[in-house]
Structure 1
Amino acid sequence: MAELEPARTLQRTRHGRVALDLGTARTRALTSSGAAIADRPSAVVAAPPIAGAADPVRPIRHGMVADPGACLRLVRLVLRDVQTAGDRSMEQVVVGVPVAASPSDRRAVRTAVSEAAGCGVTLVEEPLAAAVGVGLDVTGSRPFLLLDVGAGIVEAVAIRDGAISDAMAIQLGATTGAGLLPYVLDGVVDMTAALLRRLPAQLRAAARGNGLTVTGGGALQARLLNRLDTALRMPVSTPSEPQDATVRGLMRLCLRPALASGIAARGR
């Protein structure tokens, strides 16, 4: 019996770790005790309910917390989705935030998640988590580019030495079922090309060699990938299930707390 106790302790610890990706359109969560991703629209009913109001409240706008109270209710719902019977305590939540998030934006996320979960919260910038989620070596000295295309914000980043060394962002007012609107698509391509040009000359060739990785739900838009390939003249790739790259990366960081803490400490 005594020989089994360490395994039981490890299992309880693993159950207590949760990865949380608060998106403008959808919110995803994953626990280290299971492979299924909880995935629900980023919307809740008004509190208190408003008579005759049909539209739900959307607490996340441009990837940032726009309604703290509604965000708290959303986080509670998502955490309930991933909790299993008999698993009532959480040890740590690792949650993604945009690189463009201000200090007040980050405080709003931390406050909502810590109140809902009742445990420690680690913030990790979403493009960095997405890079971890697709298996890129974020700690290497050779730079690479990543474009994270969400429903409310698109961020292009350069990553090396475990940190985002440069970043640019476009906040989205609207998307369609077909993906980015034409004028936004032009802006995303121009932004990514500008980020590449901003790299120091001695790093640009290495970044081109590593190619551009595109994640987020917008990575499924073939027209965007084709435009990027033509404009950048460098390899452009997207992983399978790119919409889940961030939450999977956050979970990998849950299982490597030292790496997560180091990355979070370097965040803006």
Structure 2
Amino acid sequence: MSPGAPPGVLVRERVVNAGRRLVALDLGTARTRSLAMGGNAMADLPSVIARGADAVRPIRHGMVIDPGGCLRLVRLALRDTRLYDSRPLERVLAGVPLAASRSDRGAVRAAVAEIAGCEVRLVDEPLAAAVGAGVDVLDTRPCLVLDVGAGIVEVVAFSQGAVVDAAALQLSATTGTGLASYALEGVVDMTAALVRRLAAGARPATRARGLVVTGGGARQEELLRRLRASVRLPVGVAPQPQHATVRGLMRLCLQPALAVAAKPARG
């Protein structure tokens, strides 16, 4: 979900081959990323499908709005993973926004299953992003993750793998330089409100762990400055934040115990 990212690129990424063909899939509003176990590259392409002379975006706010277009987008993403491994797929882990409804989740599952022809598991994207950023989501101390995507921004408090509290803001547009001014203010207010809602006894531990920002908009300096001033917590940016979700999905493929222990996505 990286606003302003370059058009289709392959990002070098090393993943240990455990003898199975598993794929992590992040269907974003602006970018779609896939990573196969045993592959040596991450597929990173615009979430755009050509339909005649028109360019169609089948994903909005991180959710499917054009099922036919989504099928074509998933086919392109999975095709790239076959360049490195032609074996049949065993499983796909696909990210979905925490705010996605049951029908939204069903649309993602149906599109991926039709193209992949294998088991499809859905994982809430903020959880995957936290895992991809190296956050220990199973720690008893609450941790905060702000996932800044091109179409939706979600802030989540985790404790022992479960969601303690969460909020989301859907974006109508994202500029190449980050969040628009109206959205920036909304994201900061939303995050500060969640921090205020935390139980008083949990605040010292939360303060010690701080807030981790992921997603394509994570490096916007004005956002980070205003977050630090408003939430009064340490605010850090995940390494290569635009890839945190797909990397987290792959880590969940590789660590099934973590995937079981963490609260799964609904639907």
Normalising to structure 1: TM-score of the pair? 0.90
The whole-number CA distance in structure 1 between the counterparts of 2:73 and 2:37 is 21
Out of 17, 40, 46, the position equivalent to 1:41 is 46
Alignment check: 8 A CA contact 1:122 1:261 kept: no
Match of 2:30 in 1: 25
2:238 is paired with a residue whose SS is coil
The yes-or-no answer on 1:239 pairing with 2:244 is: no
Alignment check: 8 A CA contact 2:98 2:265 kept: no
Match of 2:95 in 1: 96
Match of 1:226 in 2: 225
Alignment check: 8 A CA contact 1:22 1:28 kept: yes
Alignment check: 8 A CA contact 1:163 1:267 kept: no
Output the amino acid matched with 1:22. Answer: L
**Aligned in 2, Cα 1:196/1:61: closer, same or farther, shift over 3 Å?**
same
**Aligned in 2, Cα 1:213/1:39: closer, same or farther, shift over 3 Å?**
same
Larger radius of gyration: 1
Cα drift, residue 263 of structure 1: 2.9
Cα drift, residue 36 of structure 1: 1.6
Normalising to structure 2: TM-score of the pair? 0.90
Alignment check: 8 A CA contact 1:123 1:264 kept: no
**Aligned in 2, Cα 1:79/1:192: closer, same or farther, shift over 3 Å?**
same
Q: Percent identity?
A: 62
Q: Deviations over 1:34-85 (max 9, x none)?
A: 2421000001122xx3xxx3x3111100000011111011001100011136
**Aligned in 2, Cα 1:86/1:129: closer, same or farther, shift over 3 Å?**
closer
The whole-number CA distance in structure 1 between the counterparts of 2:229 and 2:76 is 43
The whole-number CA distance in structure 1 between the counterparts of 2:265 and 2:31 is 27
Cα drift, residue 192 of structure 1: 0.2
Output the amino acid matched with 2:46. Answer: P
- Which runs of structure 2 are paired with 1:34-183 in the superposition (5 Å)? 34-46=39-51, 49=52, 53=53, 55-84=54-83, 87-183=86-182
**Number of residue pairs matched by the alignment:** 251
Q: Unaligned 5+ residue runs, structure 2?
A: 1-16
Q: Unaligned 5+ residue runs, structure 1?
A: 1-9
1:106 is paired with a residue whose SS is helix
Cα drift, residue 220 of structure 1: 1.4
The whole-number CA distance in structure 2 between the counterparts of 1:68 and 1:82 is 21
1:220 is paired with a residue whose SS is coil
Alignment check: 8 A CA contact 2:27 2:59 kept: yes
The whole-number CA distance in structure 1 between the counterparts of 2:234 and 2:228 is 7
